[in-house]
Amino acid sequence: MTHHGTQPRTLHIGMSLAPTWLGGDAWRRPDSGVEGLFGTDFYVDVARRSEAAKLDFVFRPDTLFLNTPALESGFGFASLDPTVLLAALARETSRIGLLSTVSTTFFPPYVLARQILSLHWITNGRAGWNIVTALEGHENFGLPAMPSPEERYERAAEFTELVRHLWESFPEEALALDREGGRYADPARIRPVDHRGRHFSVKGPLNLPSFGGAPIPLVQAGASAVGRDFAASVADAVFASTPDRDAAVDLRRDLRRLAEGHGRSADAVRLLPGLSLYLAGSRAEARELFAETHAGTQRARKLASIREMTGLDLSDWPEDRPVTAADLPPPPERPRSRTHAGLLRRLIEREGPALADLLQRPEVIGSAHWQVIGTVDDAVAAVRDWVEAGAIDGFIAVPGGSVGSMRLALEGLVPRLAEAGLFRRDYTATTFAGHLRE
């Protein structure tokens, strides 16, 4: 494909290993495979299918707390540790990138640096780190409250710089492996770290050599002003919630501009929104799949979520009454996620949807992801439209509804994008960074 202005050469596509296709009531389907969630066969299957589709990476989001009330109706984020899980996929796959999520708010940098670099070694250069500052879980780490987003990002910036130093502190070139001379390594080539910052004090070096074959891609999620600036300073890609095309166009333009401000190329930071796909053989079936999946989602929970994000109590509102900008109280000072609260306000301000409609939107019932409910053709058209608008550099598939919908994403949509020249037909690289460079 030719390279028009801000349009990408080829899309970069990731696949969620969080089984989003078992979300809502979908886990209750007879073929959901939900019994396998805490084993490896379930994930090996998805990773192999993703590799057969030549995807850039599989991706595991993560949290470090258990939402106990939510367990009543679904597995939520109860899950295996993402880096341990991805290590189990290392020898079951050979080309696909493996993107783990680790929080800079709760982890010690030395441990993170060692775990991700270990994953990188055992996969021959296929590890990636999704940098999150987390939304909840402080009680599990001895913190009196969740630090403010500003504090979390300040810590994330120091954390990330420190991790990069640790990764370079024991260069692979220091290994001499000179059997004859009896010289294993050259200690003079080990670089001290001696980090003393506001949040961390780490002497270093890391007790693991760098992997010379390829850098470890960094991905970030969180789209407030400070989140964007942090992403633009270090990330190779941003995982984003962009429910409408304009949101993606704006975010991508902003990230590219900010990257240049940090002395990087605008192309260095790729925008990869989540793409929620409810796919079926016909539009009617897809709509049915979506309706069935969310039929059990409790109204009270949706209303509570709207109240938390906007301060608006809609419990007494008639279904057909539009919710408009004029109804919005001043934004709550500390919503759980500013990104998601902002996206919900944006929807209300732009569209003024009736309450019944609002309660079906991804901003309320999902993670505010871009969503296609329809056929593979519809999904191809949507991706093409967003590419042509300069809205994306790729996407992370978060299929919903059923195993069948997940398979249609990998075995229907992706091959069609490849046929259209929007995606690779085969791998040319063997590392995660190599795939992103294409």
Ligand X SMILES: Cc1cc2nc3c(=O)[nH]c(=O)nc-3n(C[C@H](O)[C@H](O)[C@H](O)COP(=O)(O)O)c2cc1C
Q: Is residue 256 near ligand X by the rule CB under 6 A? A: no
Please name the residues in contact with 352: beta carbons below 8 A apart, sequence gap of 6 or more.
322, 323, 324, 325
Q: Is residue 16 near ligand X by the rule CB under 6 A? A: no
Q: Is residue 61 near ligand X by the rule CB under 6 A? A: yes
Per-residue CA distances from 393 to 15, 230, 293, 323, 363 (Å): 15, 19, 29, 33, 22
Scanning 174-182, 222-230, 319-327, 428-436 for contacts with ligand X by CB under 6 A, the matching segment is 222-230
Which of residues 40, 79, 118, 224 is near ligand X by CB under 6 A? Answer: 224
Which of residues 132, 163, 251, 391 is near ligand X by CB under 6 A? Answer: 132
Tokens 């899309």 belong to residue: 11
Q: What are the start-end ranges of the E strands in 285-421?
A: 370-374, 394-397
Q: Is residue 219 near ligand X by the rule CB under 6 A? A: no
- The whole-angstrom separation of Cα 426 and Cα 413 is 15
Rg value, the chain, Cα: 22
Site string for ligand X, 378-407 (x = CB under 6 A): ------------------------------
Q: Which is nearer to ligand X, 63 or 124 (CB)?
A: 63
Which of residues 339, 371, 402, 431 is near ligand X by CB under 6 A? Answer: 339
Q: What is the DSSP letter of 148?
A: P
Per-residue CA distances from 240 to 181, 224, 339 (Å): 53, 11, 9
Closest CB to ligand X belongs to which residue? Answer: 227
Closest approach of ligand X to the CB of residue 276, in Å: 11
Tell me if 372 sits within 8 A of 381, measured CB to CB: no
- The whole-angstrom separation of Cα 131 and Cα 148 is 17
Q: Is residue 63 near ligand X by the rule CB under 6 A? A: yes
The type of residue at 361 is: R
Tokens of 212: 């010379």
Give the count of alpha carbons within 13 A of 230, CB side only: 28
Q: Is residue 233 near ligand X by the rule CB under 6 A? A: no
At 29, is the secondary structure helix, strand, or coil? coil
Which of residues 227, 374, 390, 412 is near ligand X by CB under 6 A? Answer: 227
Q: Is residue 133 near ligand X by the rule CB under 6 A? A: yes
Closest approach of ligand X to the CB of residue 121, in Å: 24
Scanning 127-135, 138-146, 157-165, 425-433 for contacts with ligand X by CB under 6 A, the matching segment is 127-135
- Taking each helix axis from N to C end, the angle separating 225-234 and 245-261, rounded to the nearest 10 degrees, works out to 60
Site string for ligand X, 40-59 (x = CB under 6 A): --------------------
Q: Is residue 23 near ligand X by the rule CB under 6 A? A: no
- The whole-angstrom separation of Cα 157 and Cα 233 is 9
Q: Is residue 149 near ligand X by the rule CB under 6 A? A: yes
Q: Is residue 20 near ligand X by the rule CB under 6 A? A: no
Backbone φ and ψ for 394, nearest 5 degrees, come out as: 160, -160
**E strand or H helix at 378, and its extent?**
helix 376-388
Q: Is residue 215 near ligand X by the rule CB under 6 A? A: no
Site string for ligand X, 76-115 (x = CB under 6 A): -------------------------x-x------------
- Please report, as ranges, the residues that interact with ligand X according to CB under 6 A: 61-63, 101, 103, 132-135, 149, 221-224, 227, 239-241, 274, 337-339
